[in-house]
Structure 1
Amino acid sequence: MFDTAAAVLDWMGVIVFAVTGGLVASRKQMDIVGFALLGTATGIGGGSLRDVLLGQPVFWVHEPAYLVTCLVVSALTFFAAHLPQSRYVVLLWLDALGLALFCVTGAERALLAGTGPTVAVAMGVITATFGGVIRDVLGDEIPVVLTREIYVTAALCGAAVFVTLSQVGLGREAAIAAGLGAGLAVRGAALHWGWSLPRYHPRPGRTREEIERLR
């Protein structure tokens, strides 16, 4: 059974990601159906893929309240999206919070399903990032995972911290708090200071003389 703390975080993640889907829809000036589509896909997309990969029943099929919540939150965002001064800034920081929440709850669900630590970390990353990928593709935005900013790495850090501390016997609540804090701290720092990982730079091809010397 999913414990109370993790369940609360899971619900928070669904709500936060549903809001980000609605904010992307607002940037694209969609109608309320578009808001519902992006909000729902973002809120439950990552968790749906996780459950399919784990061979488990998809969580919102057995708990339709998740689906209903996404629809309600998306509708509310339709009427309130104009309130923030900068919707994009709000979008980025809410997305960071959703990522931190889901990287922990996704890893937690995987551990409860009996997976090993490596798979649990991978499921945490998938849960945290896949909904945002769906949101950005449907919203005709460049997916955040393809930008220079640290994104997947933040989810990886949060999930890894949670799983590692859980495996060494730390209490579940403390491990959840540490994983959530790590994921949010890394993503928040990347947003604030513009952190990014080194990128590949193409190198000039070898000259004929260099190729001959290698023979």
Structure 2
Amino acid sequence: MNTILIIIEFLGTFAFAISGIRMAAAKHFDWFGGYVVGLATAIGGGTIRDVMLGLTPFWMTKSIYIICTAAALMLVILFKKRLTQLHNTWFLFDTLGLALFTIAGIQKSLYAGFPFWVAIIMGCITGAAGGVIRDVLINEVPLIFRKEIYAIACLIGGVVYQLCSLLGFNLEIASLFSFISVVVVRILAVKYKISLPVLNEDDVSEGEK
């Protein structure tokens, strides 16, 4: 369990760090600003999760996550011209980070002895909260509050994980199916512009009359 969780958190950290640094680069942040945004994106959700679970934040016990973010920054700096041409790559990194951290949040919550409904919520927080912090730092409306399917993908991934557990699948298979479900939901939602209904000020005003 511990080994799998560490691998998932490491991969998720790298994927989310690149996603955050990319957004900072689009806003013309300097290198330090890019690192801060990348780090906040990578560890933000997991930090909130661990605090809520009463655990020591995962990045405070191993420096590898700080180093991982620095490596992501160097990768973006060294291959900036090449990476700017790969628009779909940025979306892929964000989606992979979302799926990996959702699984990490679920597994860590269950490992700590919490019920599965708590684990699903923690999976959503782990996957989506880092992106919220990132968007706030770069002065954007958080993606989770806009039309794109984001946190809903985390919820679906959590439900799939639970179904796999109930069906008797082992940890690796449950993680794999959960990962695939989050990635597929995100890709299909963006490709076919699937979104939740948007709140309209006129609708609210009519309800108050």
Q: How high is the TM-score relative to the length of structure 2?
A: 0.91
Matched, 1:172 2:208: no
Compared with structure 1, are the counterparts of its residues 85 and 169 closer, same or farther at alpha carbon in structure 2 (3 Å cutoff)? same
One-letter identity of the residue aligned with 1:48: T
CA distance in 2, matches of 1:205, 1:63: 53
Partner residue in 2 for 1:38: 37
The alpha carbon displacement at 1:191 in A equals 1.3
SS in 1 for 2:28: coil
Partner residue in 1 for 2:124: 125
Q: Which range is displaced more, 92-101 or 80-89?
A: 80-89
SS in 2 for 1:176: helix
Partner residue in 2 for 1:10: 9
CA distance in 2, matches of 1:162, 1:128: 15
Partner residue in 2 for 1:146: 145
Partner residue in 2 for 1:105: 104
Conserved 8 A contact 1:36-1:75: no
One-letter identity of the residue aligned with 1:120: A
Structure 1: which 5+ runs fail to align?
none
Conserved 8 A contact 1:26-1:81: no
CA distance in 2, matches of 1:111, 1:198: 32
CA distance in 2, matches of 1:179, 1:131: 19
Deviation string 1:17-55 (CA, Å, 9 cap, x unpaired) is 000011011101111101110111111111111000000
Partner residue in 1 for 2:49: 50
The total of aligned residue pairs comes to 207
Partner residue in 2 for 1:68: 67
Conserved 8 A contact 1:40-1:74: no
Conserved 8 A contact 1:23-1:81: no
Compared with structure 1, are the counterparts of its residues 204 and 15 closer, same or farther at alpha carbon in structure 2 (3 Å cutoff)? closer
One-letter identity of the residue aligned with 2:75: L
CA distance in 2, matches of 1:60, 1:194: 35
Structure 2: which 5+ runs fail to align?
none
One-letter identity of the residue aligned with 1:97: L
Compared with structure 1, are the counterparts of its residues 142 and 204 closer, same or farther at alpha carbon in structure 2 (3 Å cutoff)? closer
The alpha carbon displacement at 1:81 in A equals 2.9
SS in 2 for 1:166: helix
CA distance in 1, matches of 2:196, 2:15: 26
One-letter identity of the residue aligned with 1:133: V
Q: How high is the TM-score relative to the length of structure 1?
A: 0.88
Conserved 8 A contact 2:76-2:83: no
Partner residue in 2 for 1:23: 22
Deviation string 1:175-212 (CA, Å, 9 cap, x unpaired) is 00010011111011111111101234406648xxxx9x
One-letter identity of the residue aligned with 1:2: N
One-letter identity of the residue aligned with 1:140: N
The alpha carbon displacement at 1:85 in A equals 4.5
Compared with structure 1, are the counterparts of its residues 141 and 174 closer, same or farther at alpha carbon in structure 2 (3 Å cutoff)? same
CA distance in 2, matches of 1:59, 1:80: 29
